[in-house]
């Protein structure tokens, strides 16, 4: 077993019998990110039960999402989908008054072929509220890819008028925004100031085409990444998604776009093909190594010479020393469920770990090409064999491989974590990487904090001798 080829990366594809979250889970973080949105998941009790249990406490905080629960009469087409959806959306509009309603299509709407894309524009006109349709279903996608479908749908709603080039028009747009803000009771003054500051900044910094970053991150992290680029004289003209639906960035053929997460390949495709944007292919800003190359690639495209990045990276690495001592030489097995695996594995190899297997739900070799290249480079630099990459893994087979390889750490879903722990295999719950802040120089520490937690805990277990607790 584990005869790993060290010459070039090997890709395998298994049965796809693996555990992951349903992509509708993206509503959990997206409704928080896009503050004026409401997410309506059109599905069955099964979808609702999943959301309710997976999101735990959040469900009690009057979240801005709900289920449109399909009943037997909906399935057998005794009821009119259009009328039903209109009724629910009207209710949402009256109760919550959002700026946009996002419909999340599910497996059931796919199977009964409910024409969500067809109905949305009609209801949108009638209720005068934008309705965005994203088909984030388990038939086609895994976990974080849900965000990809939503962002791809949102990309279509981005205005095409450039803010930088056509100032008159953009000012007009600002006015429209002001009116919106008045309606929603948001301070227009600070908005105006913000706009002016951003305009001034554009003038101050290097002359480069507009750059829009895509991927949903907590606002603190977007701020950190934006500042990191600003240090290089690069202005971020917008983020997809923005914090408010009414502030979506302008996209057109002059705009350069760059992704911050590895699962956004559909969004990237949409931006290139539909919005004619130019995609900057880069590894993702996960880990100081990834962040540095990410910035370098962007600088490179804008023909800017990156300043002080090397020192920045090495200071960060130095501050990790304690963690690095813990992880050095230890082995990891990624079972795969959220598509962050490749970037995380690359960072962990650079941190001195050995990766046996990278399980991943879906591998877009084009969108991840820069990340793959960096992985290869990192392996040869650290002088470790290249890990096997297993697309659509089979959890049963993986458990057999884990039993054989006895890795020091398995990064896996909750379904397997406790049973593996009981068998003496340390685990880290993979979903935490999706919710923790892991992007940029500053947050790389959090990744190691997560990864080393079982090792730090093992120090206790060594003393008690309670390692294997199953018969």
| Binding residue positions for [4Fe-4S] cluster | 22, 47, 107
Phi, psi angle pair for 88, to nearest 5° = -65, -40
User: Does 55 interact with another protein (rule: CB under 8 A)?
Assistant: no
Select the residue interacting with another protein from 4, 48, 195, 467 (CB under 8 A). Answer: 48
Q: What's the rounded Cα separation, in Å, for the pair 255 and 211? A: 6
Select the residue interacting with another protein from 279, 414, 436, 467 (CB under 8 A). Answer: 414
Q: Which residues, in sequence order, are bridge partners of residue 258?
A: 213
Kindly state the smallest distance separating residue 122's Cβ from another protein, in Å.
16
- Token digits for 99? 């700026």
Would you give the DSSP letter of residue 248?
Answer: P
User: Which alpha helices (H) appear in 251-308, and where do they start and end?
Assistant: 265-273, 287-301
Phi, psi angle pair for 42, to nearest 5° = -95, 100
**CA-wise closest residue to 118 among 82, 89, 91, 93:** 82
Whole-number Cα distances in Å, 443 to 218, 309, 431, 436 = 12, 16, 17, 9
Cis check for the bond before 241: say yes or no (omega within 30 of 0): yes
Taking residues 320 to 359 in sequence order and writing x for each that binds another protein by CB under 8 A, - otherwise, the string is ----------------------------------------
Select the residue interacting with another protein from 9, 32, 35, 69 (CB under 8 A). Answer: 69
Residue 1 or 57 with smaller CB distance to another protein = 57
Annotated binding-site positions: 22, 47, 107
DSSP result, 70-86 = --HHHHTT-S-HHHHHH
- Region of residue 226 (phi > 0: left; psi between -120 and 50: alpha; otherwise: beta): alpha
Residue 88 or 345 with smaller CB distance to another protein = 88
DSSP result, 324-336 = HHHHTT-EEEE--
Taking residues 103 to 132 in sequence order and writing x for each that binds another protein by CB under 8 A, - otherwise, the string is ----xx-xxx--------------------
Q: What's the rounded Cα separation, in Å, for the pair 225 and 201? A: 16
Residue 87 or 328 with smaller CB distance to another protein = 87
Taking CB under 8 A as the criterion, which residues in 83-102 touch another protein?
84-85, 87-88, 91-92
Select the residue interacting with another protein from 7, 72, 311, 321 (CB under 8 A). Answer: 72
Q: Which segment (10-18, 154-162, 350-358, 379-387) binds another protein by CB under 8 A?
A: 10-18
Would you give the DSSP letter of residue 439?
Answer: B
Q: Which segment (172-180, 300-308, 340-348, 414-422) binds another protein by CB under 8 A?
A: 414-422
Select the residue interacting with another protein from 5, 46, 97, 187 (CB under 8 A). Answer: 46
Kindly state the smallest distance separating residue 42's Cβ from another protein, in Å.
8
Residues 6+ apart with CB under 8 A from 315: none
Q: Which segment (41-49, 231-239, 274-282, 375-383) binds another protein by CB under 8 A?
A: 41-49
* 3-state DSSP assignment of residue 430: coil
**CA-wise closest residue to 212 among 231, 244, 239:** 239
Q: How many residues does the chain have?
A: 471
Residue 45 or 165 with smaller CB distance to another protein = 45
Select the residue interacting with another protein from 27, 116, 229, 399 (CB under 8 A). Answer: 399
Total residues interacting with another protein, rule: CB under 8 A: 64
Let me know: does 41 contact 104? Beta carbons within 8 Å: yes
User: Does 419 interact with another protein (rule: CB under 8 A)?
Assistant: yes
Would you give the DSSP letter of residue 8?
Answer: S
Taking residues 452 to 471 in sequence order and writing x for each that binds another protein by CB under 8 A, - otherwise, the string is -----------------xx-
User: Does 391 interact with another protein (rule: CB under 8 A)?
Assistant: no
- Token digits for 44? 């069955």
Residue 61 or 207 with smaller CB distance to another protein = 61
Residues that bind another protein (CB under 8 A): 16-24, 42, 44-46, 48-50, 52-54, 56, 59-60, 63, 66-72, 74-75, 79, 81, 84-85, 87-88, 91-92, 107-108, 110-112, 137-143, 396, 399, 413-419, 422, 469-470
């Amino acid at each position: 077993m584990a005869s790993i080829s060290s010459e070039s990366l090997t890709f395998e594809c298994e049965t796809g019998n693996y555990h992951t979250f349903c992509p509708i889970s993206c509503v959990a973080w997206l409704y928080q990110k896009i503050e004026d949105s409401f997410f309506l998941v059109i599905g069955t009790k099964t979808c609702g039960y999943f959301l309710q249990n997976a999101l735990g406490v959040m469900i009690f905080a009057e979240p801005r999402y709900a289920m449109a629960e399909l009943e037997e009469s909906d399935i057998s087409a005794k009821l009119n989908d259009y009328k039903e959806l209109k009724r629910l959306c009207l209710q949402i509009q009256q109760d919550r008054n959002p700026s946009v309603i996002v419909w999340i299509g599910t497996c059931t709407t796919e199977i009964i072929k409910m024409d969500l894309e067809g109905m949305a524009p009609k209801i949108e006109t009638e209720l005068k509220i934008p309705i965005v349709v994203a088909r984030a279903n388990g038939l086609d996608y895994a976990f974080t890819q849900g965000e990809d479908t939503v962002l791809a749908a949102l990309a279509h709603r981005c205005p095409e008028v450039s803010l930088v080039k056509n100032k008159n028009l953009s000012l007009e747009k600002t006015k429209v925004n002001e009116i919106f803000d008045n309606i929603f009771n948001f301070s227009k003054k600070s908005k105006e100031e913000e706009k002016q500051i951003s305009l001034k900044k554009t003038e101050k910094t290097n002359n480069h085409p507009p750059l829009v970053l895509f991927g949903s991150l907590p606002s603190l992290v977007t701020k950190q990444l934006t500042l990191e680029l600003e240090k290089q004289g690069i202005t971020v003209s917008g983020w997809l998604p923005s914090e408010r639906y009414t502030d979506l960035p302008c996209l057109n053929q002059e705009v350069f776009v760059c992704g911050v997460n590895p699962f956004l390949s559909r969004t990237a495709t949409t931006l290139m093909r539909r919005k004619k944007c130019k995609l900057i292919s880069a590894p993702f800003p996960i880990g100081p190594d990834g962040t540095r190359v990410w910035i370098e690639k962007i600088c490179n495209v804008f023909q800017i010479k990156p300043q002080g990045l090397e020192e920045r990276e090495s200071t960060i690495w130095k501050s990790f020393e304690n963690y690095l001592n813990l992880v050095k030489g230890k082995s990891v097995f990624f079972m795969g469920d959220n598509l962050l695996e490749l970037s995380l594995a690359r960072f962990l190899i650079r941190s001195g770990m050995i990766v046996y297997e990278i399980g991943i739900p879906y591998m877009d070799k084009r969108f991840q090409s820069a990340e793959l290249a960096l992985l290869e480079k990192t392996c040869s630099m650290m002088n470790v064999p290249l890990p096997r990459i297993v697309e659509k893994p089979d959890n049963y087979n993986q458990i057999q491989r884990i039993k054989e390889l006895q890795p020091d750490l398995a990064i896996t879903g909750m379904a397997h974590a406790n049973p593996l722990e009981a068998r003496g295999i340390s685990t880290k719950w993979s979903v935490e990487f999706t919710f923790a802040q892991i992007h940029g120089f500053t947050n790389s520490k959090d990744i190691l904090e997560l990864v080393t937690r079982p090792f730090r805990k093992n120090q206790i277990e060594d003393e008690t001798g309670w390692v294997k607790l199953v018969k």
